[in-house]
């Protein structure tokens, strides 16, 4: 299953369909962007095989400059990627889904390649995939919050922040050790 009503929280065990779907969307984005995108990757909880996730695929597009997205905005919209703007500083968000049913299937985050946001997405995913015990800590946090806030995604997301920040710090140190 891919897709979730906007604002709601439901966690599912990892689905192979998520990885295959992400590959297809990444391929499509690479066709649309050509060399303008330095890299495009599947990130977020659906890219971490050992944990539960909301069935919304997160993909990050790494650009040399965030303004490089501007010439592609109309083309992306024509292919079903709906522009949502700079939802978080340093990121441009596009979404996909069934808008008549108020369902979202994909969040596409455009960021500066190798900038802080890019590194956070990649390091977080890779660290949790390498350390299942850390992934389980994050999973437990998410499950608790999902039970507490099944119809309030904003509170769910805010509740995860402290856990994410802690894991990102660990992931940063881990990546530094990997790169030496």
Model confidence pLDDT, tens digit, residues 26-77: 999 999 999 999 999 999 999 999 999 999 999 999 999 999 999 999 999 9
Model confidence pLDDT, tens digit, residues 68-114: 999 999 999 999 999 998 878 889 999 999 988 999 999 999 999 99
178 within a domain of the structure (yes/no): no
Q: Supply the pLDDT for residue 88.
A: 83
Number of domains in the chain: 1
The structure tokens 């402290």 sit at 162
76 within a domain of the structure (yes/no): yes
Strand pairing class (91-98; 82-88): antiparallel
CATH of the domain at 120: 3.30.460.10
Q: Supply the pLDDT for residue 70.
A: 92
Q: Supply the pLDDT for residue 32.
A: 96
Q: Supply the pLDDT for residue 49.
A: 93
Model confidence pLDDT, tens digit, residues 105-155: 999 999 999 999 999 999 999 999 999 999 999 999 999 999 999 999 999
179 within a domain of the structure (yes/no): no
Q: Supply the pLDDT for residue 1.
A: 85
163 within a domain of the structure (yes/no): yes
Q: Which two tokens stand for residue 174?
A: 């881990």
169 within a domain of the structure (yes/no): yes
132 within a domain of the structure (yes/no): yes
170-174-178 Cα angle (round to 5): 170
180 within a domain of the structure (yes/no): no
Residue 143 CA to residue 139 CA, distance in Å, equals: 6
* Parent domain of 151: 4-173
Q: Supply the pLDDT for residue 114.
A: 95
Q: Supply the pLDDT for residue 153.
A: 93
Q: Supply the pLDDT for residue 132.
A: 96
Yes or no: say if 130 and 47 are a contact pair by the CB < 8 Å rule: no
**In the predicted model, is pLDDT for residue 157 greater than 90?**
yes
- Full-model pTM: 0.94
């Amino acid at each position: 299953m891919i897709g979730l009503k906007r604002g709601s929280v439901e966690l599912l065990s990892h689905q192979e369909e998520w990885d295959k779907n992400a590959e297809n969307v990444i391929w499509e984005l690479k066709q649309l962007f050509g060399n303008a995108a330095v890299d495009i990757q599947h990130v977020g909880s659906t890219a971490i095989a050992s944990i539960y996730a909301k069935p919304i695929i997160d993909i990050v597009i790494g650009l040399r400059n965030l303004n490089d997205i501007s010439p592609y905005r109309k083309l992306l919209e024509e292919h079903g990627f709906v522009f949502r703007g700079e939802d978080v500083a340093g990121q441009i968000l596009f979404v996909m889904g069934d808008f008549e049913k108020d369902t979202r299937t994909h969040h596409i985050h455009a960021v500066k390649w190798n900038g802080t946001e890019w590194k956070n997405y990649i390091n977080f995913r890779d660290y949790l995939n390498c350390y299942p015990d850390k992934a389980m800590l994050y999973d437990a946090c998410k499950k608790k919050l999902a039970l507490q806030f099944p119809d309030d995604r904003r509170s769910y997301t805010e509740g995860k922040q402290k856990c994410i920040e802690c894991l990102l710090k660990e992931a940063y140190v881990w990546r530094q050790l990997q790169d030496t």
